[in-house]
Chains A and B, each alone.
Chain A
């Protein structure tokens, strides 16, 4: 309100002044850049509220007729628009400041920040504009394609599900490959963002090179993603903002061409097996040996089970935020509610968020503090057994493979499906599961951080940063006692079967960084030095139970009223079921001390160095401590005198080199220890058994990275971008080293081998059409690209190759298998190539396998972007691409598996199966003897794709429409996610990074929303 009043007053004053002094005169002046004092040509000079204007000449000079009281508006790309009121003087010189937001943005390096010009590291910022209002329950999905080198793969359509995040390739084999995530100073769980509200995020910085990440040495080997949430500003009136959207999600398209009921029944009849052949034992046409007639087939129902198990998911999201600030304190508060319905039955996410960010300072400015606290609650339905082959448990299997001649009308209850037990009834088993099974997670997530700094002198500051991440979940899984599954597995002996399992995992992670920072400037030299210690500890606890036996009269999922105590078999006295409690405690911790130094000379040269010592709880005493370091340097070429008249307005060369450690391995937390365990042994008696033989030589996995980069802007930043070339070499890799089984184990975790990722990151943005004035057409395009190749070396055996992993000099995860060579036209058998390339029906499953030079890790990934603004409309598209991913299409393998006849549906491809000598086809004879024998490349497919990952169209209401409404800003928008995909992959989602089958694909989503500011 205060601001608004001032503005009205100004207008009023101008009006009055105009009445008094309304006489035109010539105003002249020179416009210069504040940063270097050089004249700025081409600056637009407008009289506010009129169309009268001019622009500066080559010397930055302008001339315009204006009256006293007029307001001159000076605008220029990448500069802050400046207004000057015409007074008595007829000369108005303007020094335009760089627009911090676009050009001289703040860059995060380690625990401190600097300006972009002074940064010598490789990092990319993603601002709130490209995160907010996207209908992804997890903000991580939204980052996909926005940062060169950052590959984000979401392999599940579960709302809020985890994404695989990898920066610059894959940095480890069995160790952690994902970046460290830090939210407002708090390191957080990298796999769980379902409870957090993306609308609170102000910026995401992706730190890529060793210079940027070494300061996070003990967890920064795979990059660091630093997230800042919104803050209020000092001396700022209350601002209230609302964002909301509604989204509709649906299944993406597939290309399997599955059969309808009539085609399927005819095929079954031709095979003499299944309902079409009259010998099914399912609920449709149970067999009497007589095949269906054409008329009966025509009359059979044709039901689409894909549309039954998948649905259009509706999402609504609302966020209200309030921010304000006084002289010495500011606050930002937000409330969020999101209700996302997944496209798969029973998948959902509901969450409620509160955030409170407070900053404050002492009146002398010496003491500063900030607290960030967020409380989140989520309740998600998460169907399990996804990706599995259980016909009674995996809904996706039911959606894909069910026979279409069964319909939901065939279902009465679970008991009716027990006999005869037929695989063909798969959709009905799963329909029963929808009715009787519960799988929900409730989660409370608290993330809090507090930072304090005290200026001990004008050059020395003491800092303390404390943060905690607390997650408490309750995972519930319950199978109702009247369900098909309970009745099936309980049997007559146990008529009250069914189970309820609950697990309550809680994790508290505490992090503390204590530091002393010195900063001094001597003329053109400036030096910053920091000394730090970091303490990190997590406390994981879980307890739960598995209750067997539920009374259907009182059972309700999550409630214990229906629990039946231990039940004994009346005949034998044996235990039919009893209950199993479980509990676990795991503690982990890290401790580090480190130092950093930064130097700058006149914003022309600079560099940084860090060194740190890290200890991990994970390693036996001898290898507990490790040292990591980095150096980086830059040359701001565009700040050199000789560059004064070049087309470059920004040109900076950067280089960095350094190491970072990884101790987060998939192996057990105490993989260095030998130990025994006690538990159920022979006859269910307590026993002692060997649990683990440890490796006392385990040590830190080290990633050494070299990065050379250039940042540039030419033609007044019309073309801008950066290019980074890197090589990351991970040594002492954690891997399962194969052992001779004669030692009692077949593998053991060890540090062995070398993995190199090398490639480049490119980001280019170009303004095709620049706006001269507000509201003019503005068109810009951009490219984000990363090329990365992996190379393995020093593998731990004499062959230099490990099946499943790769070979020396080859790529990570290179496929090693038999080569499929088609179908023998003579007999319909499958053909393969021997290692020597000869065609055979009976290859040696061991020695005829070859390395294929292909893997599932992308070679290229990135995006193409288009942004258009006109008047108050805006339009954005983002096309993501991924090249060089090869996957096994195991869903397709199921769709042409002739042994599924009578049980599951097929791709229409099955109709061209070999039937007689001379047939040339790609589908084998249904009786080929080698049809189930060999794993081969038969189903290996290129899963490269180009996808319209995101499109947005919207309208910002001009402020003139909002006058007197009490609303300061308003916008409406339509967004789309995953709208189109161009790919040869036949499945629902080319993005899934998996060689599994029956996975939950990510959806296509269209959303509508609006944003209001008061």
Chain B
């Protein structure tokens, strides 16, 4: 009997320790999907999470590194050399970044849209306006993600039959493996999101959030890309009526994040936010401070600029032009006779200053998503495309006069090619280091007779990669290996040339 008691005691000890305490464990701090979005306030916080997916630095990195905006800096540690040498393949960061980032962006927006739609019947009337505005912004963000997929992966965005990216307008299961949809299908998806955004948005203007004006600006840009120039012209003209071109002081302050005259919308960047850091330097994966796409430390000579300004861009900048002051750091070393300089590497150091930093953080600046000068240039390109060459020239003159602070001569365009070339050259200066050059060359480079045009002295020592025609296959990104690994069938739909 005594023995049995002891056995019972030991057995009880085992059971009392309990197994569930060890195996029914819920980690603290987890927010269930079911509890994540229960009211409008939650949706607003979710929207702020999706805004944090929106980044322009990969575009800035790709356009500057691959095209003709930068040269290899005197303080280079080898950053971006392959892309500078026009080396682009399915393993490159460019393809994987644009593909993976935008599909994740699309996915997170869809999750929020689905959560919002399931709440739509429970929304109080008092919250309805805010709810609608949240949904408008979510649809806009999703359209933005898909427009990058379209522009970078479709060989021709003006041909509906070409292949673009898969249209994923829902939250798919993890085993989903789609093939590419056509450019026409992806356009339709983008437009449906933008139609919803337009109908739901109830804020006319907002500097750091999506408003009706931002939606209009985005549509203007899309119409231009699409080749629908009349629509582009009318949308751009409308915005130019509300957003004037900045004067010289305003322009300079704009890049210190201290003036918004010209800004239709910009992405706020502030200390401790998810982008407060260097990001991936010399890589399209970028992230981080915009200025860290060109330098490690700050936008001065001592800030370790691994990329400098391409001398051809510099040559286009007149010292009387405020854009010279904005883009060229005063600490730059400028060779008086660059073409004959025996040591151009050390005697001509053109430090890029478009992102000098703000809020006490060097290299960190707000990202200007839509500016009125871009609308002006969209309007000019539209006029050129519609045969109104003098109308295009007037706009270019207007912009240059604002930038110089004195009346500038009226350019003369005798053909569509000349007019496109004039617009493209002005875009190269006005929008330099803002991530447009790659898209611009792809869109009208051939029509304008322009391609990648680097300064010969800059590029000759760097593998002789100096020029590239705008019809080169590399103006469309490859479907990345990371996608083919998870979705083998899409490998058969690789873009030409890769």
Structural contact, A677 and B297, CB atoms closer than 8 A: no
* CB-CB nearest 4 A-B residue pairs: A574-B359, A744-B107, A589-B22, A569-B360
Asked if B336 CB lies within 8 Å of chain A CBs, one says no
B21 touches A537 (CB 8 A): yes
Is the pair B360, A494 in contact by a Cβ cutoff of 8 Å? yes
Q: Assess the A688–B30 pair: CB atoms within 8 A.
A: no
Interchain CB contact under 8 A, B108 and A591: no
With an 8 Å Cβ cutoff, the count of chain B residues facing the other chain is 109
Q: Is B315 positioned at the interface, with any CB of A under 8 Å from its CB?
A: no
Instruction: Decide if B463 touches A929 in the complex (CB within 8 Å).
Output: yes
Residues on A with C-beta less than 8 A from B274 are 680-681
Decide if B24 is an interface residue (CB 8 Å cutoff).
yes
Q: Mark B193-222, 1 if CB is under 8 A from A, else 0.
A: 000000000000000100000000000000
Assess the A742–B23 pair: CB atoms within 8 A: no
Complex contacts, A577 vs chain B, CB 8 Å: 271
CB-contacts of A729-768 with B (<8 A): 737-748
A569 adjacent to B48 (CB under 8 Å): no
Interface stretch, picked from A91-99, A258-266, A553-561, A795-803, is A795-803
Q: Is B104 an interface residue (CB 8 A)?
A: yes
Let me know if A743 and B173 touch, CB within 8 A. Answer: yes
Determine whether the beta carbon of A616 is less than 8 Å from that of B23.
Answer: yes
Q: Is the beta-carbon distance between B272 and A741 smaller than 8 angstroms?
A: no
Assess the A740–B343 pair: CB atoms within 8 A.
no
Taking A516-B10, A738-B486, A930-B85 as known contacts, 14 extra A-B pairs with beta carbons closer than 8 A to each other, sorted by chain A number, are A287-B343, A289-B347, A493-B357, A537-B22, A577-B271, A578-B272, A585-B29, A617-B23, A681-B52, A681-B273, A683-B273, A686-B48, A740-B487, A743-B174
**How many Å from the CB of A795 to the closest CB on chain B?**
11
| Among candidates B52, B81, B90, B103, residue contacting A741 with C-beta atoms closer than 8 Å | B103
**Complex Cα gap A754–B276 (Å):** 42
Q: Does B298 contact A (CB under 8 A)?
A: yes
Is residue B280 contacting chain A, with contact meaning CB distance below 8 A?
Answer: no
Q: Do residues A797 and B464 form an inter-chain contact, with CB atoms below 8 A?
A: no
Interface segment among A49-57, A456-464, A653-661, A912-920: the answer is A456-464
23 CB contacts below 8 A, A to B, read A419-B302, A422-B75, A457-B3, A464-B13, A493-B362, A514-B17, A572-B359, A575-B271, A575-B272, A580-B272, A586-B27, A590-B23, A615-B23, A670-B26, A676-B31, A681-B49, A742-B172, A742-B176, A742-B177, A743-B174, A744-B107, A746-B483, A846-B498
Residues of A contacting B17 with CB < 8 Å?
A: 512, 514, 533, 535
Distance from A790 Cβ to chain B, minimum over Cβ atoms (Å): 21
Is residue B461 contacting chain A, with contact meaning CB distance below 8 A?
A: yes
The one of B45, B75, B357, B358 in contact with A688, judged by C-beta atoms closer than 8 angstroms, is: B45
Selected interface stretch from B32-40, B63-71, B379-387, B468-476: B32-40
Chain B: CB-nearest residue to A740: B487
Q: Judge whether B342 is part of the interface by a CB distance below 8 angstroms.
A: yes
CA distance A931 to B297 in the complex (A): 28
With an 8 A cutoff between CB atoms, is A955 at the interface?
no
Which A838-885 residues sit within 8 Å CB-CB of chain B? 844-846
Shortest beta-carbon distance from B75 to chain A in Å? 6
With A418-B302, A688-B37 known to touch, is A454 a contact of B360 (CB < 8 Å)? no
CB distance from A677 to the nearest CB of B (A): 6
A742–B19 touching, CB < 8 Å: no
- B52 to chain A: which residues have CB within 8 Å? 680-682, 687, 689
| Nearest A-chain residue to B464, judged by Cβ | A929
Question: Which chain B residues numbered 362 to 389 have a C-beta less than 8 Å away from chain A?
Answer: 362
**Nearest Cβ on chain A to B408's Cβ, whole angstroms:** 33
> Is B6 touching A420 in the complex (CB atoms < 8 A)?
no
The CA of A578 and the CA of B272, in the complex, are separated in Å by 9
How far, in whole Å, are A537 and B13 apart by their CA atoms in the complex?
16
Expressed in whole angstroms, the minimum distance between the Cβ of B211 and any Cβ of chain A is 15
Instruction: Give the Cβ gap from B382 to chain A, nearest Cβ, in Å.
Output: 32
Q: Across the interface, do B49 and A420 meet the contact criterion of CB distance under 8 Å?
A: no
Q: Which residues of A contact B168 (CB under 8 A)?
A: 742-743
Taking CB atoms and an 8 Å cut-off, the chain A residues in 556-602 that contact chain B are: 568-569, 571-572, 574-578, 580, 585-591, 593
Query: How many residues does chain A have at the interface if contact means C-beta atoms less than 8 Å apart?
Result: 107
Does A644 have its Cβ within 8 Å of any Cβ on chain B? no
Decide if B270 is an interface residue (CB 8 Å cutoff): yes
Q: Helix, strand, loop or mixed for chain B's interface?
A: loop
Partner of B36, one of A454, A676, A799: A676
Partner of A669, one of B27, B272, B482, B498: B27
Instruction: Report A603-638 CB contacts with B as 1/0, cut-off 8 Å.
Output: 000000000000111000000100000000000000
Q: Are B100 and A689 in contact (CB under 8 A)?
A: no
Q: CA of A624 to CA of B23 in the docked complex: distance in angstroms?
A: 8
**Which single member of A423, A493, A590, A681 contacts B77 (CB below 8 Å)?**
A423
A617 touches B25 (CB 8 A): yes
> Are B486 and A846 in contact, CB atoms less than 8 angstroms apart?
no
Question: Would you list which residues of chain A between 760 and 808 have a CB under 8 Å from chain B?
Answer: 797-799, 802-803
**A281 CB–B CB distance under 8 Å:** yes
CB nearest to B490 among chain A residues: A740
Chain B residues whose C-beta falls within 8 Å of the C-beta of A156 in the assembled complex? none
Do the beta carbons of A689 and B49 come within 8 Å of each other? yes
Contact with A along B102-117 (1 / 0, CB 8 A): 0110111001000000
Tell me the residues in window 38-58 of chain B with beta carbons closer than 8 Å to chain A beta carbons: 42, 45-52, 54
- Is A188 interfacial (CB 8 A cutoff)? no
- A421: chain B residues at CB < 8 Å are 75, 297, 302-304
Complex contact A933–B25 (CB within 8 A): no
Per-residue CB proximity of B73-107 to A under 8 Å, as 1/0? Answer: 01111100110010101111000000110011011
* Contact residues in B for A536 (Cβ distance below 8 Å): 22
A587 to B498, CA, bound (A): 48
CB 8 Å contact bits of B153-169 with A (1 = contact, 0 = none): 00000000000011010
Please determine whether B23 and A575 come into contact, CB atoms closer than 8 angstroms: no
- Residue interface mask A936-952, B partner, CB < 8 A = 1: 00000000000000000
A894 to chain B: closest residue by CB? B78
User: Quick check: B270 and A677 within 8 Å, CB to CB?
Assistant: no
**A491 at interface, CB cutoff 8 A:** yes
Are A589 and B23 within 8 A (Cβ)? yes
Inter-subunit contact B87/A682 (CB<8 Å): no
A742 touching B166 by the CB < 8 A rule?
yes
Docked-complex contact A741 and B100, CB < 8 angstroms? yes
Contact A681 B45 (CB under 8 A): yes
Alpha-carbon distance A489/B364, docked complex (angstroms):
12
B359 A575 Cβ-Cβ under 8 A: yes
| Interface residue from B32, B45, B297, B498 paired with A687 (Cβ < 8 Å) | B45
A279 to B485, CA, bound (A): 47
Question: Which residues from A are CB-within-8-Å of B136?
Answer: none
B359 and A569 form a contact (CB under 8 A) = yes
- The answer to whether A493 and B360 touch across the interface, beta carbons within 8 angstroms, is yes
Among residues of B, the one whose C-beta sits closest to the C-beta of A669 is B27
- Asked if residues B483 and A741 are in contact (CB atoms below 8 Å), the reply is yes
If A491-B298, A929-B464 touch, does A615 touch B19 (CB 8 Å cutoff)?
yes
For A512, list chain B residues within 8 Å (CB): 17
**Given that A575-B359, A670-B27 are known contacts, is A683 also in contact with B36, CB under 8 Å in the complex?**
no
Given the interface pairs A281-B74, A289-B342, A624-B23, the reply to whether A491 lies near B362 with Cβ below 8 Å is yes
Known: A536-B22, A846-B498, A932-B81. A746 touches B360 (CB 8 A): no
- Bound together, the chains give a CA A938 to CA B153 distance in angstroms of 32
Is the C-beta of B231 less than 8 angstroms from some C-beta in chain A? Answer: no
**Cβ-based interface call for B361 (8 A):** yes
Contact of B6 with A746 in the complex, beta carbons under 8 Å: no
Cβ contacts under 8 Å, B89 to chain A:
844-846
Q: Which residue in chain A gives the minimum CB-CB distance to B34?
A: A674
Smallest CB separation, A556 vs chain B (Å):
26
From B26, B78, B347, A932 is in contact (CB under 8 Å) with B78
CA gap between A933 and B77 in the complex, in Å? 16
**Counting CB contacts under 8 A, is A690 at the interface?**
yes
> With a CB–CB cut-off of 8 A, which chain A residues contact B461?
927
A620 to chain B, nearest CB (A): 11
Let me know if B301 is at the binding interface, CB within 8 A. Answer: yes
Q: A903 in the interface, Cβ–Cβ < 8 Å?
A: yes
- Report the separation of the CA atoms of residues A999 and B481 in the bound assembly, to the nearest whole angstrom: 29
